[in-house]
């Protein structure tokens, strides 16, 4: 059994602040950088798209973006891209033959490093 005293002795040789910072970077790399945002897309024409931009200081060109709406709108597909360093573009694509205005709602946007 490892005692708290043994852990303290072991940890004395490490810079715990640096370990915490590295752990936070590793967590972000593995789990992504998530943010919950409220988006309101305008009318999307049949077969068309609408884009909205978000600021995210961690976003860099070449990284992936996952978009998960908390409410499903039939016929609309959402995806994201890093438009520029610091800017994520969220796209709503209407896959139907009629215009759709998705209701304003919350989305989870995950930046994948």
Whether 14 shows a pLDDT value over 90: the answer reads no
Summary mean pLDDT of the chain? 86
Cβ atoms of residues 97 and 44 within 8 Å: no
Instruction: Round to the nearest angstrom and report the end-to-end CA distance of the chain.
Output: 37
Residue 80, pLDDT score: 97
pLDDT digits (tens, 9 = 90+) for 38-59: 999 999 999 999 999 999 999 9
Q: Which domains does the chain have, with CATH numbers?
A: 1-31 (no CATH), 33-112 (2.60.40)
Residue 21, pLDDT score: 66
Average pLDDT rounded to a whole number, residues 61-86:
96
3-state secondary structure 24-52: HHHHHHHHCEEEEEEECCCCECCCCEEEE
Average pLDDT rounded to a whole number, residues 26-43:
81
**Which residue is it, tokens 């609408």?**
50
Q: Would you place residue 113 in the very low, low, confident or very high pLDDT band (cuts 50, 70, 90)?
A: confident
Residue 16, pLDDT score: 61
């Amino acid at each position: 059994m490892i005692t708290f005293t043994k852990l303290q002795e072991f940890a004395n040789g490490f810079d715990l602040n640096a370990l915490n910072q590295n752990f936070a970077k590793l967590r972000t790399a593995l789990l992504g950088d998530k943010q919950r945002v409220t988006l309101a897309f305008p009318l999307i024409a049949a077969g068309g798209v609408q884009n909205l931009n978000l600021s995210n200081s961690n976003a860099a060109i070449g990284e992936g973006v996952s978009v998960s709406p908390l409410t499903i709108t039939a016929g609309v597909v959402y995806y994201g891209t890093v438009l520029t360093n610091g800017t994520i573009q969220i796209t709503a694509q209407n896959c139907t033959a009629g215009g759709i205005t998705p209701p304003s709602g919350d989305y989870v946007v995950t930046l994948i490093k």
